[in-house]
Structure 1
Amino acid sequence: MTYDRIGHLLLTPVDREAPARVRRLLQLGIGDRAVPAFDTFADRLAEVTGAPYSMVNFIDENRQFFAGLHTPTGTHTGTDLGAVAAAGKIGRFLARDHGYCPYVVARRKALVLEDVCDYPRFAGNPVVDEIGIRSYMGAPLIDRTGLVLGTICVVDTEPRRWGRAGLETIKAMAAELVEQIHRAESDPF
């Protein structure tokens, strides 16, 4: 089957909460730097789901930032994800129009894509061709103020059956991380 990427490429969803999110992330002291506790969380998320890559992702108006990152090789570079993907390394930054986390933020609900190529809306995303992402599962981090701070997600370069158990796991782990963030308000990371 031939797929016309350009004809079906969907624009990144509008994110009206971005300015408020940026203010809240600054208030919390997160979202613009790597946090060892978030790396540890991403490591555990990968272990629990069996995914080779996992992230704690905060999104501003222009980009995504992986404050927590797990990769199979343990690399955590500070460069752009697309640029380092060819070298086998995954970085902490990703353009806002790449990947699926902006959809999770806009929807305010978890998203499970067992094979992104099965969904024309998502198959044309640059991460498919540039990085080789074939499977995605993510959940929003909804703060007690009602803002979506970002997401946690796992990805794989192979199609993967996450199932209902995977969905419940990622949602539970997102709630767990939000609680950890709330506790850190009085004792910052």
Structure 2
Amino acid sequence: MTYDPTGHLLLTPVDREAPLRVRRLRELGMGERPDPEFDAFATKLATVTGAPYSMVNFIDENRQFFAGLHTPEGTHSGDLSIKAAATGGVSRFMARDHGYCPHVVVRRKALVLEDVCDYPRFAGNPVVDEIGIRSYLGAPLIDRTGTALGTICVVDTEPRPWGRAGLETIKSLAAELVEQIHRREDGRL
């Protein structure tokens, strides 16, 4: 749990479902290694939304793991929160208190931030200063057991007018990926 030292705002939400999520992800064999199918889905996210960065993100108690990742450079090394700003490389790991996906998982609702700086609660997030994130669009991946496994999201270093169309698109794509996960679990993929 991270607080803004000046405004005393809770920046990272408490996630009571994390242990259940971790167990479910292990059952599914996901969340610990890159997955070419999720990389392809992340590329689809970027193409559909026109965003430079997109992720299929699974979250445990301490960190986020991008099992699917699309970047403009195609680099996926280092620690996103530290090395991305220094080297331009993007990692598949990020601290749980960085970014907006932990909010989406806990809220179990899509989140549209056209300009993160318009929202004091989100403007103080480390990804703003360390990586330069200015806009976010994400939706939860809620499976048939009711578990919020993680998120899909797209981000940009510029404000983006996602609007209602962006919200509907990200929700639709999240449902599509959940169906893909179910087919995989059922052995149909």
Instruction: Name the TM tier (shorter chain).
Output: over 0.9
SS of equivalent residue, structure 1 residue 75: coil
- For the 8 Å contact 1:80–1:94, the answer to whether it is kept is yes
SS of equivalent residue, structure 1 residue 91: coil
**TM-score between the two structures when normalised by the length of structure 1:** 0.94
The alpha-carbon distance between structure 1 residues 125 and 188, as it changes in their structure 2 partners (threshold 3 A), is farther
State the partner residue of 2:98: 98
The alpha-carbon distance between structure 1 residues 188 and 39, as it changes in their structure 2 partners (threshold 3 A), is farther
Does residue 43 of the first structure (1) align with residue 39 of the second (2)? no
- For the 8 Å contact 1:29–1:188, the answer to whether it is kept is no
- For the 8 Å contact 2:81–2:98, the answer to whether it is kept is no
- For the 8 Å contact 2:101–2:138, the answer to whether it is kept is yes
Matches within 5 A, 1:40-189: 40-77=40-77, 79-86=78-85, 87-187=87-187
Q: Give the Å deviation of 1:186.
A: 3.1
SS of equivalent residue, structure 2 residue 81: helix
Q: Give the Å deviation of 1:25.
A: 0.2
RMSD: 1.3
Q: Give the Å deviation of 1:11.
A: 3.1
Sequence identity (%) = 78
- For the 8 Å contact 2:57–2:68, the answer to whether it is kept is yes
Q: Give the Å deviation of 1:141.
A: 0.1
SS of equivalent residue, structure 2 residue 88: coil
State the partner residue of 2:6: 7
**TM-score between the two structures when normalised by the length of structure 2:** 0.94
- For the 8 Å contact 1:128–1:134, the answer to whether it is kept is yes
SS of equivalent residue, structure 1 residue 146: coil
CA offset digits 1:10-65 (Å, max 9, x no partner) = 33101111000000000000011100000000000000000000000000000000
- For the 8 Å contact 2:59–2:96, the answer to whether it is kept is yes
The alpha-carbon distance between structure 1 residues 132 and 120, as it changes in their structure 2 partners (threshold 3 A), is same
CA distance in 2, matches of 1:150, 1:73: 24
CA distance in 1, matches of 2:188, 2:19: 22
Q: Which runs of 5+ in 2 are unaligned?
A: none
Q: Give the Å deviation of 1:7.
A: 1.4
The alpha-carbon distance between structure 1 residues 28 and 188, as it changes in their structure 2 partners (threshold 3 A), is farther
Q: Which runs of 5+ in 1 are unaligned?
A: none
- For the 8 Å contact 2:54–2:69, the answer to whether it is kept is yes
CA distance in 2, matches of 1:45, 1:16: 29
Q: Give the Å deviation of 1:69.
A: 0.1
CA offset digits 1:117-164 (Å, max 9, x no partner) = 000010000000000000001000001000100000000000110011
CA distance in 1, matches of 2:188, 2:155: 28
State the aligned residue count. Answer: 184
